[in-house]
């Protein structure tokens, strides 16, 4: 199977290395006749300089790439949203993408696909910081801001740089089966499918640098009264302005409405309790100001695409895997009697009971 990864000066190194390592690990598990053939295709020949200063050799530029590839991926980079690609390149990209079985982009490489007219009427995503811009500049695209990766027919797009790994694991699973994709994920020490959307990783709480700003004052008040139910009027009173001024100024500086802001503070606080304690879900919901554990579950599912119970279990599994690896390394160097394993602050033997709360 032939793959082409399109690169340019200023490309993000991980947008290239992540996908290529997924396919390289898959190749290590495959017989020669089933392996992926990967080519880097440059906007110009010779080499590209990545955004981190790394130089990567590019064997061929798009003008001289004559192969009929099965998958075409466009890498992204900090410059991608600002780029005004050459019309000749865009024409090539358009025709090449439509002649492949599948095509897509890593992170904000989707902007190049958009310039080539490949997103009209298609569901796509990109890095959380660029979704609004993508939708405004290319209104015919249907942008899904909180998805890690999106498939629309033959088109694949994904969020941040490491989401390119998620996307390519999905492609490997489609090509070669779920079992092999799981093996690749284990070799790379990543999840075969990451639960949750990009809001898990984005700075939703856009607090300004001034400690006495309205947003900062509101954050302190919400944190100090996290378990309480309060209105927009109460928040405005707490920071000493009218409701109208509060709503207008807050939305301008925080980039979200006050109600969304408060909800996200509650979610973040709940996540910390889920990660660091074995407190029952009902108690966490009460401490964080949710109406009930059902209400908390609904908010988690909507915001993070995962339930609180699943979030806690996933965190325990992740911590347990890290602890096991550390113990194995330590035991191999310094053999000693086994101690009861702990996961974070919670014993492994107690983990199953915790998630039932």
Task: Tell me the pLDDT tens digit for each residue of 120-135.
Answer: 999 999 988 899 999 9
Angle among Cα 282, 319, 345 to the nearest 5 degrees reads 55
Indicate the domain borders of the chain.
Answer: 2-199, 203-357
Alpha helix (H) ranges present in 51-147? 87-99, 110-115, 131-137
Nearest to 71 by CA among 135, 123, 143, 22: 22
Q: Which residue has the tokens 């890690």?
A: 148
Q: Which CATH architecture has domain 203-357?
A: Orthogonal Bundle (1.10)
Q: Higher-confidence residue: 239 or 134? A: 134
Residue range 2-199, CATH number: 3.40.50.880
Predicted local distance difference test score (pLDDT) of residue 264: 83
Per-residue pLDDT of 301-338, as tens digits, reads: 888 788 999 888 876 665 554 455 545 555 555 555 44
C-alpha 346/C-alpha 320 separation (Å) is: 10
Contact 66, 30 (CB under 8 A): no
Q: Is the pLDDT of residue 354 over 50?
A: no
In this prediction, residue 8 carries a pLDDT of 95
User: Rounded mean pLDDT of 61-82?
Assistant: 93
Pair 40, 19: CB distance under 8 Å: no
Nearest to 4 by CA among 136, 108, 101: 101
SS3 for 58?
strand
Residues 197-233: pLDDT tens digits? Answer: 555 544 333 444 444 578 778 888 888 888 888 888 8
CB contact set of 211 (below 8 Å; sequence gap of 6+): none
- The secondary structure of residue 150, as a DSSP letter, is E
How does strand 346-347 pair with strand 342-343?
antiparallel
Measured CA to CA, the distance from residue 118 to residue 65 in angstroms comes to: 20
Length of the chain: 357
Q: Which residue has the tokens 């080519």?
A: 39
Look at 93-97, 297-301, 321-325, 343-347 and tell me which has the smallest mean pLDDT. 343-347
Instruction: Check residue 194 and give its pLDDT.
Output: 56
- How would you class 238 by CB atoms within 10 Å of its CB: exposed for 0-12, middle for 13-18, buried for 19 or more? middle
- The single residue listed with the structure tokens 């702990």 is 342
Other residues' Cβ atoms within 10 Å of the Cβ of residue 287: 16
Reported as a pLDDT band with limits 50, 70 and 90, residue 343 is very low
Residue-level pLDDT at 357: 42
């Amino acid at each position: 199977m032939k793959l082409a990864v399109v690169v340019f000066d200023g490309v993000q190194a991980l947008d290239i290395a992540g996908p290529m390592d997924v396919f390289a690990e898959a190749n290590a598990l495959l017989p020669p006749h089933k392996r992926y053939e990967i080519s880097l295709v440059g906007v110009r020949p010779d080499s590209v300089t990545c955004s981190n200063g790394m130089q990567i050799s590019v064997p061929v530029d798009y003008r001289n790439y004559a192969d009929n590839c099965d998958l075409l991926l466009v890498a992204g980079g900090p410059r991608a949203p600002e780029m005004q690609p050459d019309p000749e390149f865009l024409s090539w990209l358009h025709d090449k993408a439509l002649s492949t079985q599948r095509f897509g982009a890593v992170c904000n490489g989707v902007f190049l696909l958009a310039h080539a007219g490949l997103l009209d009427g298609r569901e796509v995503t990109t890095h959380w910081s660029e979704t609004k811009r993508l939708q405004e500049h290319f209104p015919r695209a249907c942008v899904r801001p909180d998805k890690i990766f999106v498939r629309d027919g033959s088109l694949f797009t994904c969020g941040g740089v490491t989401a390119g790994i998620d996307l390519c694991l999905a492609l490997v699973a489609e090509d070669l089966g779920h079992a092999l994709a799981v093996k690749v994920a284990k070799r790379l020490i990543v999840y075969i499918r990451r639960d949750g959307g990009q809001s898990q990783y984005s700075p939703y709480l856009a607090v300004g640098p001034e400690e006495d700003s309205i947003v900062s004052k509101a954050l302190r008040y919400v944190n100090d009264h996290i378990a309480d139910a309060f209105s927009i009027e109460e928040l405005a009173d707490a920071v000493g302005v009218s409701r109208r001024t509060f709503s207008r100024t807050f939305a301008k500086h925080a980039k979200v409405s006050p109600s969304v802001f408060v909800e996200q503070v509650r979610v973040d606080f709940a996540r910390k309790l889920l990660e660091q304690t074995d407190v029952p879900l009902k108690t966490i919901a009460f401490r964080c100001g949710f109406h009930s554990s059902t209400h908390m579950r609904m908010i988690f599912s909507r915001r993070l695409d995962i339930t609180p119970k699943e979030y806690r279990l996933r965190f325990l599994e992740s911590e347990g895997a890290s602890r096991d690896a550390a113990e194995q390394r330590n035991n191999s160097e310094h053999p000693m009697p086994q101690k009861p394993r702990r996961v974070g602050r919670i014993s492994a033997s107690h983990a199953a009971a915790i998630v039932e709360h």
